Structure 1
Amino acid sequence: MDLLDILLEPLSYDFMVRAIVTTALAAVVCAVLSCWLVLIGWSLMGDAVSHAVLPGVVLAYIVGAPFALGALVFALIAVTLIGVVRNTSRVKEDAAIGIVFTSLFALGLVLISVTPSQTDLNHIIFGNLLGVSIPDLIQVLVLGVVAFVILILKRRDLTLYAFDPTHAHAIGLSPKRLGALLMGLLALTSVVALQTVGVVLVVAMLIIPGATAYLLTDRFNRMLVIAPVISAVCSIAGIYFSYYLDTASGAMVVLTQGVVFAAVYLFSPRQGLIGTRLAKARRRKAAALLVG
């Protein structure tokens, strides 16, 4: 089997094509948002929101509503509750996040355990890439485009908010509104990724691409290009690996992203652990030759 056959064989199955397209869409949107999450330090918030949507999905199944609607409602509820606990008590933000997301995630698990269902609701937790339907694909496309367009249109305001909220306030922007907008986009993006890799792995897609790009460049505009490119390539590669290795698709997508991050962490010319040491060794050698 040559390389062309390896690339084309999975595309002969409709479910594989839907899986690839859906994952690539979700990966790009998650990666763009992850740049701001990494920059601001909201990685734990992404974890919280992605887990907190579980009861909303189960309740949506019970009443026959779209999963995305229930997930979006509970994502917004989680964000609101975190803000309320943080602002009205002595509890710090990280503790408020932990309390809210673990409680809502546990509620979701309880609802799954007591809900009679002919559908395996565990795919909500672990994802079901190969079971993506045409309606699911359309839903991911619509939600993903909405989140992506808002992020791109508001990128300058959000970037200023991330770097210097005081300056943003001084020029007439509202840091609270920008923070709320970012929270809302986080909720929306979590719903998009939920359709592909499930609740447990959403947080990885919301953190790893941005963290990888952060190690490769010092310019935020470049991060916004590098992160989605890496995420999309890793997602497609992960699905191909899962096809030929017969492994879980969502987990393989995230694992591929993790391997790429590890490689960048070790060998990035500017920030890599090994790369920087090799560069220093070369500079010392060059200096010694000049002196000699």
Structure 2
Amino acid sequence: MGWLDWILDPLAYGFMWRGLLAALMVGVLCSVLGTYVILQGMAFFGDALAHAILPGVVIAYLAGWPLALGALVFGVITAVGIGALSHRGQIREDTAIGIIFAGSFALGVALLSTVRSYAVDLAHILFGDVLGVSPTDLWFTFGLGALVLLIVFALYKEILVLAFDPTLAVVLRLPATFLRYLMLVLIAVTIVVSLQTVGVALVLAMLVTPAAAAQLLTRRLPSMMAVAALIGAFSNVTGLYLSYYVNVASGPAMVLVATAIFLLAFTFAPRRGLLWQMARRRRALGTALSSQSS
């Protein structure tokens, strides 16, 4: 089989086309939002929020609503709740995240235990089912994803200042509280959009790993966002093809490709990579030894 056949043969199936488009959109969206997540140290928030929306999914399932709708409503409520608990500083943000994460996840598990067929009907929420994306799911992903990216790019400068210098944001009289809540809600929406592709258990990896790899390869935020989006899109598409040919789950395959790219960047990235730093230390040691001998 030639490389062109390797690429085109899976596209003869409609579910592969839809899965490919969904994987591309989610890869770009998660990676762009992920740059803000890692720059603001919000990885724990992303992980907690991904698990905290479980009650919304189960409630929607029990009520006969679209699962994504329940996840979206509960995700926004959870994000705003975390922001409200930690807003006045009486409770640290990581403490607020831990409280709401544990309580929400426990509620979700309790509700889940009442659903006898949950293993079949809700498994794709936990682990993703990109090959089961319907045309409605695709439009849902595209609509919410485009809205999130539009808001991010429209408020790029304001969010940039808030991420790197909150004090300057206050001096410039930016609506810091509003922007903070907005970022929490955007992360919640991004997680909900990604559920169909990688599921609750793996969505944090898609938020953090491509952005972390891009941080090792770039120095400016626009470049970091662009490189992260490319890594995310490439990881998802490659993982989808691997899942088709190797017969493994799509979500884990996508995450494994992104992790492999991160490890390559961590090892070989110019100036920041492990090998580069080892060579720099060796040169410094050689210079120090030569100066002592002379």
Bin of the TM-score, shorter chain as denominator length: over 0.9
Cα deviation, residue 206, structure 1: 1.0
Partner of 1:42: 42
Distance 2:268 2:286 in 1: 19
Cα deviation, residue 153, structure 1: 0.9
Query: What per-residue deviation string (whole Å, max 9, x for no partner) do you get for residues 41-96 of structure 1?
Result: 11111111111111111111222222222111111221233234335785432222
Distance 1:176 1:85 in 2: 13
Distance 2:168 2:81 in 1: 28
**5 Å matches for 1:1-292?**
1-87=1-87, 90-117=90-117, 120-278=121-279, 281=282
Cα deviation, residue 164, structure 1: 0.8
Distance 1:225 1:284 in 2: 37
2:202 aligns to what SS in structure 1? helix
2:199 aligns to what SS in structure 1? helix
Letter in 1 for 2:85: V
Identical-residue share of aligned pairs (%): 43
Cα deviation, residue 150, structure 1: 0.7
2:231 aligns to what SS in structure 1? helix
Distance 2:28 2:152 in 1: 12
Distance 1:160 1:70 in 2: 33
Distance 1:11 1:122, change over 3 A: same
- 1:209–1:230 Cα contact (<8 Å) kept: yes
Distance 1:286 1:234, change over 3 A: farther
Cα deviation, residue 11, structure 1: 1.0
Listed as ranges, the gaps of 5+ residues in structure 2 are 290-294
Distance 1:29 1:6, change over 3 A: same
Cα deviation, residue 116, structure 1: 4.3
Distance 1:137 1:14 in 2: 12
Letter in 1 for 2:128: G
Query: What per-residue deviation string (whole Å, max 9, x for no partner) do you get for residues 272-291 of structure 1?
Result: 11133235557888999xxx
Cα deviation, residue 270, structure 1: 1.5
Query: What per-residue deviation string (whole Å, max 9, x for no partner) do you get for residues 4-35 of structure 1?
Result: 11111111111111111101101101110011
Query: What per-residue deviation string (whole Å, max 9, x for no partner) do you get for residues 102-121 of structure 1?
Result: 22122222222212448521
Query: What per-residue deviation string (whole Å, max 9, x for no partner) do you get for residues 159-214 of structure 1?
Result: 01001111112112021111011011011111111121111111111111111111
1:114 aligns to what SS in structure 2? coil
Shifted more, 40-49 versus 74-83: the winner is 74-83
Listed as ranges, the gaps of 5+ residues in structure 1 are none
Distance 2:12 2:253 in 1: 21
- 2:83–2:181 Cα contact (<8 Å) kept: no
Distance 1:87 1:177 in 2: 11
Distance 1:272 1:60 in 2: 46
Distance 1:132 1:156 in 2: 35
Structure 1 residue ranges, 4+ long, deviating more than 6 angstroms after superposition: 282-288
Distance 1:143 1:71 in 2: 13
Letter in 2 for 1:205: M
Distance 1:279 1:154 in 2: 39
Letter in 1 for 2:223: R
Distance 1:155 1:139 in 2: 24
Distance 1:171 1:99 in 2: 33
Distance 2:244 2:256 in 1: 14
The number of equivalent residue pairs is: 290
Distance 1:16 1:283 in 2: 52
